[in-house]
Each structure stands twice: as structure tokens, then as C-alpha cells.
Copies of this chain bind each other. A is one copy, B any other.
Amino acid sequence: MDERTLEKALARAEALCAERGVRLTPQRRRVLELVCRAGHPIGAYDILSQIREGAAAAPPTVYRALDFLLEQGLVHKLETLHAYIGCTHPEHPHSSQFLICADCGDVTELEDESIVGSLRTAAAETGFKPSRPIVEVIGTCANCALKPPRK
């Protein structure tokens, strides 16, 4: 994520948190910044080591900030990667889907109504009430499909 986009994302997060009456503390803001700046999924311990460049810190510091950011929908967790990524449209709560390129590591966040719809329908048929649908598709992105695999 470039500097310009980052600024906007952080400003938007500030505004959202203010609106919701929750505190985007400096720590939380810092973690959000690191997640966004990475531009790709980043692990909790990667975040931690970057934080440690400026100050002492331990795992709970990062995990607490991530918990907050996840609750507020400002970041998402990619379960298959054990990594976190900034949300591209945090304004409204949503259930999104991720396309994860196994070659270059790029991730695309989708919000596809037809996927959500088919999930809902299938669940309803068995009487299941979904609360958190996880959809992570591993594969090859358009870019990487064109060129020989990296390495």
C-alpha cells in the first residue's frame, strides 16, 4: 500500500472509531499501519518484530491490537496463512472472500453476493445458522498465470 493510500486508510479508521465511540489508541493505530503498509498478509510475529524496532513489546501487545482491529472490521485474518491483512472497505461490516495467490502471495478481497447467497442457501437446507463464513481460495492470480512460476 502506498503512502497516499495508507494515510487515507488511517484517517478513515480514525473517523470510524470516533463514530463508533471506540478508541484507536496509538498502539492499535501503529499495528493497523504496519498491516496496511505491508500490502500483503503479515504474521503477528512479523508485526511484533517491527514494533520492537522502536520499543520493547511482547506477543499480547500485538494480539490485543489485532483483536480490536478484527472486531472493528479494520483488518481480516487469513486462517490458511495465519496472517492478517487490511480491509479494503471497512465502512460496513461484511463477510468477504479471499483469493490467495500461492505464487506471488497477493490477496484479493471480494464481497461477492452470489457466493454469500449460495452459502446461505446451502446452510439453510440443513437448518444451519451461519455466523462467520470463511472463504479462502488458494490458487494462481492472473499475473502469475501468465509468467513462469517465481523460482
Residues in A lying within 8 Å of B, measured CB to CB: 79-80, 97, 99, 101-102, 108, 110, 112, 114-115, 117-119, 121-123, 126-142, 145
Contact = CB atoms under 8 A, between A and B. Distances in A.
16 contacts: A79-B136, A97-B122, A114-B122, A115-B115, A117-B118, A126-B141, A126-B142, A127-B141, A128-B137, A128-B142, A130-B137, A131-B140, A133-B138, A134-B137, A134-B138, A135-B135
Nearest to A113: B118
A128 B140 contact: yes
A140 to B, nearest CB: 5
A122 B130 contact: no
Contacts of A129: 139-140, 145
A109 B139 CA distance: 22
Given A137-B130, A142-B126, A115 B118 contact: yes
